[in-house]
Structure 1
């Protein structure tokens, strides 16, 4: 009986980690161009690498909004996450939001996920997921960790159905979700749970992330179409 329980536990753990593994492109990279209306304002990249049992995820965001060739807004964000067995074990972020600096540090502890950031120190639930969006389990959450200000965000997510999106002239079948509450945005995930798009309003303009034609991305797009 003990052996049976052990086998069931291993199978359950494997089922929990499969969606996370499937969401990582074979190329180990996601790259988006960021559009505000019709204007290209920057780049958002997510890279993945394995080190032993750990999954390391690096997020780099660089945005710049110009008006008549004059820069009126800049945004830079760097985020390093470490995941183990499908759970976040640490996070370090630095953000420059148009001149305002933020730092966040978090570690998994016996009590939960300990966070230190601009909003103070607190212990978040052990299974908390950050607002880096690449993890498809984001849409199953009622709380998320703000990777900039280090606060808990209360959210509600509703599926909006299947949708074909065009990525550099190619059609990709995605599942669309609408998030409300402390965050108001739309998310799209591909057949294997790969993050494919995000859209939200910012100061009266819509900002949309589009997967790029980066050669490293093309292989994952083709894999998604094959499924």
Structure 2
């Protein structure tokens, strides 16, 4: 059952997480990742460059164990190049418990001049999107966004009042519910929760 919790749901999360503020040339964060409250790994990301020319790197490493035995392993690395709020190109490699996936995609190859985002939780413009590029599969996911009641979330050892947004993503018939947390004071992206198979919860928190 523990292994099933990772397969597929990690893919739907669109694991490309970043945080950047206007005028900031380089930032990096390292999230603890938990499954039902149990630490299973980390997701580190960096954003470099001004808003008109950002480069994003995300690296995720998850290991789910049962009685000390590894039952699921996940490795993901994605490099993205952005121009403003538009994704220009993406290269990602994923090892989803032995299943290898590699994506190399450029905006000009799509034959579509429309601006497209990936799962850029760092970008407030994400909340206005209806379609997102999944950096693990290279597919276009349909998206519905809903505002949830504000709540408190622990961030780096202290409680922070936050806004919450539910992202309902749909890809190839599969659905994924993701809750994105933002600091109510400045709108920063500070956390994430997602329901995975079996009703389990995958959470991102700053240590």
Q: TM-score range by the shorter chain?
A: 0.7 to 0.9
- Which structure: larger Rg? 1
Corresponding residue of 1:89: 88
Between Structure 1 and Structure 2, which shows a larger proportion of helix residues?
Answer: 1
Which is bigger in relative contact order (C-alpha 8 A, separation at least 6)? Answer: 2
Corresponding residue of 2:180: 187
Task: Give the 5 Å matches for 1:63-142.
Answer: 63-109=62-108, 114=109, 123=111, 126-142=114-130
The RMSD of aligned alpha carbons is 2.4
Cα distance in 1, alignment partners of residues 51 and 117 from structure 2: 21
Task: Give me the TM-score of the superposition, normalised by structure 1.
Answer: 0.72
Greater Cα shift, 191-200 or 91-100: 191-200
Corresponding residue of 2:6: none
Distance 1:166 1:187, change over 3 A: same
Corresponding residue of 2:54: 55
> Tell me, what secondary structure is at the counterpart of 2:119?
coil
Distance 1:136 1:206, change over 3 A: same
Q: How far 1:46 sits from its partner (Å)?
A: 1.2
- Structure 1 segments, 4+ long, off by >4 Å, are 23-27, 122-125
Cα distance in 1, alignment partners of residues 112 and 94 from structure 2: 21
Q: What is the total number of aligned residue pairs between the two structures?
A: 182
Q: CA-to-partner distance for each residue in 1:58-87, whole Å, 9 max, x for gaps? A: 000000000011100011110111112332
Cα distance in 1, alignment partners of residues 22 and 149 from structure 2: 19
- Uncovered stretches (5+) of structure 2, i.e. residues with no partner: 1-18, 171-175
Cα distance in 2, alignment partners of residues 25 and 124 from structure 1: 30
